[in-house]
């Protein structure tokens, strides 16, 4: 609301039921229990109200009694779907009851200590209507409703002063004040629950997003390992073909050189694609993953491309995740050796030890200049991330003689 006056006008005239927040799911038990309790409360209210007003107004006021009864019972039935309408009808009912209390029967059937009962019974159903409506108000809306409730409570106390003194006035204000506080308490609880739900949804979305990013990063590493390795071997084989294949014509050598350039360009494009994949929601298809059993084929493929490799493989059976990590680490280390140290000898050792799998790849300094490359360090970072995922240790770095060393120990769960 723009102002307190605006809030009062909104509550009396301009406000709509749809301006309020939706109701909270306050009932969590069986529906039939709610129906039984509601029906019982309405029957008790009808009995008390009719009997009180009949004794106070006399038997000749039956139409007025039923009118007051209608105004009393309708607001609680409307408050869930039409809260503001229920509050306004409750206000009309209170004003009607205050007027009716001024005209008792000529021969009052109540004793002096019970003369205020008709109005008290009339007020009771309006209290939950007030609290439930305040619980659904937005910022600034509840002020006008509270003012109306306090004004009516004051009027109730004033008309009862001739019979009960100021007692009814005090208690009316106390009861309404407690009801308003309860309504605002329910409002704060509803907002707290909404904020908690929103926070939970945000947490779930962030967790899903983080999982998606981790999965894409893993896929990107797999893509880098697969494409980078094979394209590197293609470039290396085309560059070294004129040395390995005898009697190669000039035209064939030129073709090999062109193929090598194309392979390196494709490798650079693949690296850029990996970068894009890490920042988008693309979901590439998964392929069957290799393990230690494919390591000999990997080494043979590298040897066929002209890399001199001395290998000792004794991995044995390891978990699939460990085997995949070892294969990818070897693949990346061999690709790095081929790119950065062409012509050097590469020593490969895969050894199974208690509680771990050791992967060691070392190469000497290059014997000829390395071809230009746009490597961004993703491969070594991928090795480190795989070790972090599996558990173990990772050491990578240059050797004193100008070569390079990759030493990894992967943990094998369940072994001492």
Model pTM score? 0.49
Establish how many alpha carbons lie within 13 A of residue 344's alpha carbon, considering only the half-sphere containing its beta carbon. 25
Please enumerate in sequence order all residues whose Cβ is within 8 A of that of 336, keeping only pairs 6 or more positions apart, or say none.
379, 380, 404, 406
Q: What are phi and psi of 335, to 5 degrees?
A: -65, -40
Q: Between the ranges 50-54, 61-65, 399-403, 404-408, where is the mean pLDDT highest? A: 404-408
The residue among 251, 242, 139 whose CA lies nearest residue 188 is 139
**CA-to-CA distance for 159 and 155, rounded, in angstroms?**
6
β-pairing verdict for 345-353 and 404-411: unpaired
Q: Residue 355, SS3?
A: coil
Residues 275-331 pLDDT 10s: 655 554 444 444 556 888 889 989 988 888 788 899 998 867 788 778 888 888 998
Residues 218-242 pLDDT 10s: 666 666 666 666 777 777 777 777 7
What is the number of other CB atoms lying within 10 angstroms of the CB of residue 329? 27
Q: Which residue has the higher pLDDT, 250 or 21?
A: 21
Q: Which residue has the higher pLDDT, 385 or 108?
A: 385
Q: What are phi and psi of 309, to 5 degrees?
A: -125, 130
The helices-and-strands tally (H runs, E runs) of the chain is 12, 5
DSSP output for 115-167: TTHHHHHHHTTHHHHHHHHHTT--TTTHHHHHHHHHHHHHHHHHHHHHHHTTH
At residue 3, the pLDDT reads: 56
Q: Which residue has the higher pLDDT, 172 or 359?
A: 359
What is the number of other CB atoms lying within 10 angstroms of the CB of residue 69? 17
Residues 71-119 pLDDT 10s: 888 898 898 889 999 999 999 988 888 888 777 777 655 544 444 556 6
Q: Which two three-digit tokens encode residue 156?
A: 């109730």
Q: Where are the domains of the chain?
A: 4-165, 206-411
Please enumerate in sequence order all residues whose Cβ is within 8 A of that of 157, keeping only pairs 6 or more positions apart, or say none.
166, 168, 169, 170, 171, 172, 173
Position 253 pLDDT exceeds 60: yes
Confidence band, pLDDT 50/70/90 cuts, at residue 415:
low
Q: Which two three-digit tokens encode residue 7?
A: 């809030």
Please enumerate in sequence order all residues whose Cβ is within 8 A of that of 370, keeping only pairs 6 or more positions apart, or say none.
339, 340, 341, 342
At the topology level, CATH places domain 206-411 in: Heat Shock Protein 90 (3.30.565)
């Amino acid at each position: 609301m723009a102002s307190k006056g605006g809030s009062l006008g909104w509550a009396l005239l301009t406000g709509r039921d749809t301006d309020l927040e939706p109701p909270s799911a306050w009932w969590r038990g069986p529906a039939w229990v709610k129906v039984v309790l509601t029906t019982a409360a309405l029957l008790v209210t009808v009995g008390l109200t009719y009997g009180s007003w009949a004794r106070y107004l006399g038997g000749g006021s039956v139409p007025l009694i039923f009118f007051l009864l209608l105004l009393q019972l309708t607001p609680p039935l409307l408050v869930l779907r039409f809260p503001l309408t229920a509050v306004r009808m409750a206000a009309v009912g209170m004003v009607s009851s205050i007027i009716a209390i001024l005209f008792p029967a000529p021969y009052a059937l109540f004793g002096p200590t019970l003369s205020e009962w008709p109005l008290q019974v009339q007020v009771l159903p309006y209290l939950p209507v007030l609290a439930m409506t305040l619980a659904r108000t937005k910022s600034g809306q509840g002020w006008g409703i509270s003012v109306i409730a306090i004004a009516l409570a004051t009027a109730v106390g004033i008309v009862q002063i001739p019979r009960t003194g100021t007692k009814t006035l005090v208690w009316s204000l106390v009861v309404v004040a407690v009801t308003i506080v309860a309504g605002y308490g329910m409002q704060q609880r509803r907002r707290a629950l909404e904020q908690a739900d929103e926070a939970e949804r945000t947490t779930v979305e962030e967790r899903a997003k983080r999982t998606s990013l981790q999965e894409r990063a893993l896929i990107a590493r797999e893509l880098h390992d697969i494409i980078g390795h094979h394209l590197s071997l293609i470039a290396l084989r085309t560059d070294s073909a004129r040395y390995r294949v005898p009697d190669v014509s000039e035209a064939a050598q030129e073709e090999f050189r062109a193929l090598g350039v194309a392979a390196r360009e494709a490798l650079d494009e693949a690296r850029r694609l990996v970068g894009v994949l890490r920042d988008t929601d693309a979901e590439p298809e998964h392929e069957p993953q290799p393990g230690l059993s494919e390591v000999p084929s990997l080494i043979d493929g590298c040897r066929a491309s002209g890399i001199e490799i001395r290998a000792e493989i004794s991995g044995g059976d390891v978990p699939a995740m460990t085997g995949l990590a070892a294969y990818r680490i070897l693949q990346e280390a061999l690709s790095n050796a081929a790119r950065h140290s062409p012509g050097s000898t590469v020593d490969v050792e895969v050894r199974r030890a208690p509680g771990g799998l050791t992967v060691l790849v070392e190469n000497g300094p290059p014997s000829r200049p390395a071809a230009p490359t746009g490597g961004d360090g993703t491969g070594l970072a991928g090795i480190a991330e795989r070790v972090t995922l599996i558990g173990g240790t990772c050491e990578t770095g240059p050797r004193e003689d100008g070569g390079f060393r990759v030493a990894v120990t992967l943990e094998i769960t369940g072994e001492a």
